[in-house]
Amino acid sequence: MKRFTGKSVIITGGGSGLGRAAALQIAKEEGRLALVDVDEAGLADSEKAIREAAPDAEVLLLTANVADEAQVAKYVDDTVKRFGSIDGFFNNAGIEGKQNPTEEFGSNEFAKVLAVDLNGVFYGLKHVLKVMRKQGSGSVVNTTSVGGIRALGNQSGYAAAKHGVVGLTRNSAIEYGQYGIQVNAIAPGPIMTPMVEGSLRQMNPDDWEAAGAEVMRPNPMQRFGTTEELGHLVAFLLSGDSRYVNGQVIAIDGGQSSKY
């Protein structure tokens, strides 16, 4: 038996990047997956990748905007109807937004980033934790960022949202531990995903790879992390192998945040 045999896991932002990587690892371990994303084509691509890695995987695709609470409630209900339970929740969907110093950061842009990165995480917690409390079990992993535990600059909306996710994680962990539920967060640093590439292109539109090299210069491991490495961490936290880990924010950044 593999760690996720008979277990169902919701992954938001499952159409690309970190969400897809976690889905691939969990599918290989026989988990049943509900993948949520606003990008229907991305979800289809994720399912194709999963089928190549785990042909017999059970996969439910749910197109939804996590910033809309009604759509969040529906993806939770649809998952329970299909699988009967929610054993794991990777509360991961997020956007970066446009980079600008605070005085030039657009108010609409600020609200947009918070709607997805903070409100979306809260809505997910609100509706999934209700199901897990009734079950008396479950594990949640929220995605914050190294930008949620230290300053990055030029990212007011992202920084505010990701620091908020840390607070939500710790708060829910102390509320729900008594029900056999873990709530933790991961804080990815420079993991090479389409979103990170987009961020580097904002920093240097003419040579984003040069921007990446500059970002990596102070990193102790001198490289970008891989989505596969992150997928292994998420799977560990959701699997039941980490039952006494609760309320923690785990950086996965090659040790870079420890230098500041």
In 3D space, the residue among 12, 20, 7 whose CA is nearest the CA of residue 48 turns out to be 20
Residue from 75, 158, 244, 260 carrying the catalytic annotation: 158
- 158 classed as catalytic: yes
Tokens 């292994």 -> residue: 232
Contact 250, 233 (CB under 8 A): yes
Tokens 């760690």 -> residue: 3
Q: Are strands 88-91 and 8-12 parallel, antiparallel or unpaired?
A: parallel
Contact 146, 253 (CB under 8 A): yes
Question: Which residues form the catalytic set?
Answer: 158
